[in-house]
Amino acid sequence: MDDKEFNLWKILEVIALRIKFIIIFVITVAVISAIISLLLPRWYRASTLLLPPKEESMKLGQSTGIEDLVSITSGLVLPIRATPSDVYARILRSRAVAEKVMAANKLKDYYHLQSDLDLFKRLENQSEFRVTDEGLLQITYSDRNPAMAAQIANSYADELDKLNREVSTSRARTARDFISGRLAEVSRDLDSARLALKDFQDKYKAIDLDQQTQLAIQSAVGLKVALAESEIDLKVKEKSLSPNHPDVIALRRKIEEIKGQILALENGTGDGSILSLPVASVPALRIKLAELTGRVKEAEALYQTLSQQLENVKIQEKMDTPTISVLDMAYPPDLPYRPQKTRIVLASTAGAVFLAIFLALFLNYLSNLKKNSPDDYNRAKTFFNVFLGWLPGISRKNSAS
């Protein structure tokens, strides 16, 4: 216990003896660090905050365009459950967007770089794209010029929106070409279906099968009643008149005519009238008419749907509205974010205190070494003066010791 107390006081004694050296050393380091912090180039950081479109609203035509956007990221890996903000963050890191930003801001001339690769790496190092906890996209750019930092951050947002609109327009154009071709096919199918229905109706006069069937049945019933009456009248007259009597012959002719009319009605009259519908074929004709009518209605519905889709993609193709909402634009910052002068000076001063104490203890060790082992001291002194003789107070202390 006594040894420890003695050692502690011994250290404090050494510090007290070398306090001037310690103070001068610490002040020197603090001044040098302050000067260095003032001479270091100032860097400014500007940020813009974006609100990407929601997943359900990211539609190009009728389907989401994320897969088209991802195709330009040159193989960048996306999370399994990527959000639109994640997708756009990856796109911002792509070479495609970087080249547009380079050209828009003439960065080759600004940074005095001729190599596209070097310029891309510089942009990559000075840019930061982060998805916030709220799902927003933050674009941050650092530069020695505060105005340029804000300009490039906003340029990233502009180029991202332009690229998104280009992809949207391209997809809409592709969809328009496809829908136009499909619409032409459906139009031909519709014309063919309508023509087939018209030919069927012209052939069978099948306008309203229910009404036509009812009229045909009523006519058939009337003819059969007339046939029955004529046959009864013939039998009555055959009992009282001779077979060659004009009335008997007339009745027989009438009966044959009625039978011919009934047969024609059952198999179709072929006279082009509304009653030419063959009653015996009504079930089959009803099925055929339903089939032809269904084809027409199906083609009409498909034609109407495709026409609406074509109009939608035409609007999408011509639309030139922003696809990304800018919540906060980047403005030139007033204060640099680095160098952090206070932190540099405080850290350097704290380190200097510990280093000065160490040097003070080391100088005390040399003093004891001189007394106990002059030869070793001379060797150490030579080394000490060569490498640390520039430190304030050391040469004098060594000489005094």
SS3 of the chain: CHHHHHHHHHHHHHHHHCHHHHHHHHHHHHHHHHHHHHHCCCEEEEEEEEECCCHHHCEECCEECHHHHHCCCCCCCCCCCCCHHHHHHHHHCCHHHHHHHHHHHCHHHHHCCCCHHHHHHHHHHHEEEEECCCCCEEEEEEECCHHHHHHHHHHHHHHHHHHHHHHHHHHHHHHHHHHHHHHHHHHHHHHHHHHHHHHHHHHHCCCCHHHHHHHHHHHHHHHHHHHHHHHHHHHHHHHHCCCCCHHHHHHHHHHHHHHHHHHHHHHCCCCCCHHHCCHHHHHHHHHHHHHHHHHHHHHHHHHHHHHHHHHHHHHHHHCCCCCCEEEECCCCCCCCCECCHHHHHHHHHHHHHHHHHHHHHHHHHHHHHHHHCHHHHHHHHHHHHHHHCCCCCHHHHHHHC
Is the per-residue pLDDT at 178 higher than 70? yes
Would you kindly state where each structural domain of the chain is located, as residue ranges?
2-40+339-400, 45-180+314-328, 207-276
Q: Which amino acid is at 183?
A: L
Rounded to the nearest 5 degrees, what angle is found at the Cα of 392, between the Cα atoms of 388 and 397?
80
pLDDT at 12: 83
Least confident of 17-21, 30-34, 210-214, 237-241: 210-214
- Give the residue, 365 or 219, on which the prediction is more confident: 365
Q: What is the mean pLDDT of residues 338-364?
A: 86
**pLDDT > 70: percent of the chain:** 71
Is the per-residue pLDDT at 296 higher than 60? yes
Q: What is the mean pLDDT of residues 113-118?
A: 89
pTM of the model: 0.57
Residue 297: which of 197, 383, 390 has the closest Cα? 197
Is the per-residue pLDDT at 211 higher than 50? yes
Q: Which amino acid is at 322?
A: P
Q: What is the mean pLDDT of residues 245-263?
A: 78
Q: What is the mean pLDDT of residues 326-334?
A: 91
pLDDT tier at 225, thresholds 50, 70, 90 = low
pLDDT at 273: 47
In tens, the pLDDT along 40-90 reads 888 999 999 998 776 544 443 344 455 555 555 544 454 556 678 888 888
User: What is the residue-averaged pLDDT of the chain?
Assistant: 77
pLDDT tier at 133, thresholds 50, 70, 90 = confident
Is the per-residue pLDDT at 391 higher than 70? no
Q: What is the mean pLDDT of residues 290-315?
A: 82
pLDDT at 272: 45
Question: Which structure tokens are listed for 310?
Answer: 């074509």
- Give the residue, 247 or 393, on which the prediction is more confident: 247
pLDDT at 400: 45
- Give the residue, 277 or 13, on which the prediction is more confident: 13
pLDDT tier at 379, thresholds 50, 70, 90 = confident
pLDDT at 152: 95
